[in-house]
Structure 1
Amino acid sequence: MYKKICNSVKVLLVLVAVINISSCTKESDDSSNLSDTLFVRHKKADMPAYIHGNSTEKVFLITLHGGPGGNGLNFRNDTFKNNIEKTCAVVYFDQRGSGMSQGSYSESKVSIDIMVEDVLALVKVIKHKYGNDSRFFLMGGSWGGTLGTATLLKNQNEFLGWIELDGAHDPKGMYAEYIENFKRVATTQIEKGNSIVYWEGVQNFIKNVEPSYKEEDFFKMNSEAFKAEEKLIDDKIIANHDIEGLDSFFKYNLLTSTWNAGGIQSILTKQGLWENVSYTNRLPEITIPSLIITGEHDMIVPPKFAQEAFENLGSTEKELLVLGQSGHSPSVGDKDIFVERVLDFINEHK
């Protein structure tokens, strides 16, 4: 059953291929300070997109959240609200099976390919609402780097530029890299005398991990990666994170978003996301301008993947930005340089 998330909703039914569009009543008509919610109805799913920022030039930055199973407004921290949104309209999209998305679909009806179609459907919805002269940049964070890469491989012509933010374009490669990265970081931190007991525990933990993919071990390492970043924060290797994504606290029903997250992650895991999916060999096909950003101390999607993306992307206009105060959240850890480079990139290519 489709649940409305606005007090006042007007439904706009438009046939765009097989896409039905629903539009939430605007909170603001001011194009320099837009606040709007659109709904994309596509293949048994209704997915909200929250749009905030400056739309005077009709430049939209579509963000793809992490997970699978995160939510769009987790992106909307102070860095985005107080900086990025002043230059362009930022689209915070709840992907299929994530956030406040609703739908009735079976496991056989969910795939990365269908989620790619969802993103391209979102582009059509925005064009219908704001005009065919709307222009788009795509930003994918973490798992959003997987989905964003797959989207560009389907149709990169819709986008002026690609920003991969700690992106996982190679989910298959993460298992082996987790093992090697834990070994490297643990050795380095022990040599520096930081949290020795914890990092010795990590070394012992990794010794017991199967060398080839095992689902249980993958998720144990993923969970440990988040704990490791907390230790790096404690030891002042990573800048302390401000509270992020408060909008999600007020906009989301916790039960719905949690239920969604478990479902979509389970489906994609069963389909072999972490065991079989890799786009590394196809990165040369992506030729639009690209900005690759990673935290130097990212434990969740280690920096190796950013370097790999930079080396393999087919674009002649590409940049790799490694931020030294950051782990998996460079928009917070190194927000000043993050804002500067993202806005430079958008302004240069819009």
Structure 2
Amino acid sequence: MRTLIQVLACLVLFVLGSCEKESFYDGDHFFIKNAGAEMPVFVKGNIESGVFILFLHGGPGGSASLPSFMPVSKELEEDYAFVYWDQRGSGLSQGNPDQATFTVDQFLEDLDLVVESIKLRHNSPRIVFYGISWGGALGSAYLSTGNYQEKVAGFICMDSGHNLLEGIPKSVVFVKEYAQKQINAGIDVGYWTEAYNWCASAHDMTIKENYFKYDAYLTNTNAYRKDPNQEVQGPEVGALGAMNSYLSLSIFFNGGYLRPNFNVLALNLSPQMAKIKIPSMVIWGRHDGVNTIEMGFDAFNSIGGPDFTDKEMVILENSAHEGYMEEQPLFVSSFRRFVNRL
């Protein structure tokens, strides 16, 4: 009898798990295989809308799979289809891509395969790029290369790392000024004095070792959240959801291999972004310490050049790098307004 109860309990758990699993898997899921990488693509949301938002995640080495569980994503999926693609060496990507494939050109080739696959699988819908941080840089590079932009209806560029050559030194200044405020407030004076002195030494930020040193200080500032204590809505997936969804522990480890082997520290796409002639919206957190507001104005001014008018800039006045969480209502309304006019 006890054995029978155990078997029935296992069956109940299996059925419940299977039912919950289905809700995570609604949509179109496939892999892009290219140059040693096997990259998952998850299409969710309002596929019937004919508008597909291709999300370009940050990093390099971030993830699109985890943001697909964000409340802001679910809200926007009511209106549009969202395409979540984990780039090579990132998120839930598989395969064994060689370090030699970690180049901007290779990422552009991968991205174009995603675009073409969406067009083939879904009857050539309108595709809108939505790139955050490194994703904004990747979108900028794609749209300013050849005739690629003819395949895309619009571009949302958020807190972009499109010009790290000029942008990272500005972020170093942000860290230095933050360190000074901590010293003045008597907070962890030893650590922040060390940070201040290092940032004041004008290191060459195109050298990876210097970048990672600065980045360690940066993560201890409020560069990502203006108010780190603000309650925000994170990914809506708990332990049971993670077990029954497509998430796995690899989401936390893949980027650790990509980041030190993909050097984009001298990247400067600003000059070539004048080639972008599709409707664009630049969204930036006023207090972003990763890619500072100066780089937001640089992105806006660079897209299409000085005479291009089909572009707009939205500044999130109470946000840092993660404005999609810090000021979600304004972000969502700006997003919808832009996409709906395309």
* Same topology, TM > 0.5: yes
Q: Which of residues 104, 115, 136 in structure 1 aligns to 2:96?
A: 104
RMSD: 2.8
Q: Which of residues 116, 121, 131 in structure 2 aligns to 1:140?
A: 131
3-state secondary structure, aligned to 1:228: coil
1:308-347 correspondence runs (5 A) = 308-314=298-304, 315-347=308-340
**In the aligned structure 2, how far is the partner of 1:131 from the partner of 1:261?**
33
3-state secondary structure, aligned to 2:144: helix
Query: Closer, same or farther in 2 for the Cα pair 1:222/1:308, shift >3 Å?
Result: same
3-state secondary structure, aligned to 1:48: strand
- 2:94 is the alignment partner of 1:88: no
Contact 2:319 2:326 in 1 (8 A): yes
**In the aligned structure 2, how far is the partner of 1:46 from the partner of 1:39?**
6
Which residue is 1:161 aligned to? 154
- 2:265 is the alignment partner of 1:265: no
Query: Closer, same or farther in 2 for the Cα pair 1:100/1:213, shift >3 Å?
Result: closer
**In the aligned structure 1, how far is the partner of 2:336 from the partner of 2:182?**
34
3-state secondary structure, aligned to 2:296: helix
**In the aligned structure 2, how far is the partner of 1:189 from the partner of 1:161?**
41
Tell which deviates more after alignment, 285-294 or 310-319. Answer: 310-319
Query: Closer, same or farther in 2 for the Cα pair 1:231/1:43, shift >3 Å?
Result: closer
Give the Å deviation of 1:43. Answer: 2.6
- 2:210 is the alignment partner of 1:220: no
1:8-87 correspondence runs (5 A) = 35-76=27-68, 77-81=70-74, 83-87=75-79
The residue type equivalent to 1:288 in the other structure is I
- TM (normalized to structure 1)? 0.79
**In the aligned structure 2, how far is the partner of 1:281 from the partner of 1:217?**
26
The residue type equivalent to 2:339 in the other structure is I
**In the aligned structure 1, how far is the partner of 2:26 from the partner of 2:176?**
47
3-state secondary structure, aligned to 1:304: helix
Gaps of 5+ in 1: 1-25
**In the aligned structure 1, how far is the partner of 2:275 from the partner of 2:150?**
12
- 2:298 is the alignment partner of 1:303: no
Q: Which has the higher contact order (CA 8 A, sep 6+)?
A: 2
**In the aligned structure 2, how far is the partner of 1:190 from the partner of 1:290?**
41
Contact 2:89 2:255 in 1 (8 A): yes
**In the aligned structure 1, how far is the partner of 2:236 from the partner of 2:210?**
29
**In the aligned structure 1, how far is the partner of 2:299 from the partner of 2:236?**
27
**In the aligned structure 2, how far is the partner of 1:205 from the partner of 1:157?**
45
1:123-272 correspondence runs (5 A) = 123-132=115-124, 134-154=125-145, 155-185=148-178, 197=189, 202-208=195-201, 210=203, 213-229=206-222, 232-234=226-228, 239-244=230-235, 246=237, 249=242, 250-254=245-249, 256-269=250-263
Query: Closer, same or farther in 2 for the Cα pair 1:36/1:312, shift >3 Å?
Result: same
Q: Which structure has the larger Rg over C-alpha atoms?
A: 2
Tell which deviates more after alignment, 193-202 or 205-214. Answer: 193-202
Give the Å deviation of 1:65. Answer: 0.7
The residue type equivalent to 1:165 in the other structure is M
Query: Closer, same or farther in 2 for the Cα pair 1:74/1:327, shift >3 Å?
Result: farther
**In the aligned structure 1, how far is the partner of 2:290 from the partner of 2:160?**
10
Contact 2:53 2:128 in 1 (8 A): yes
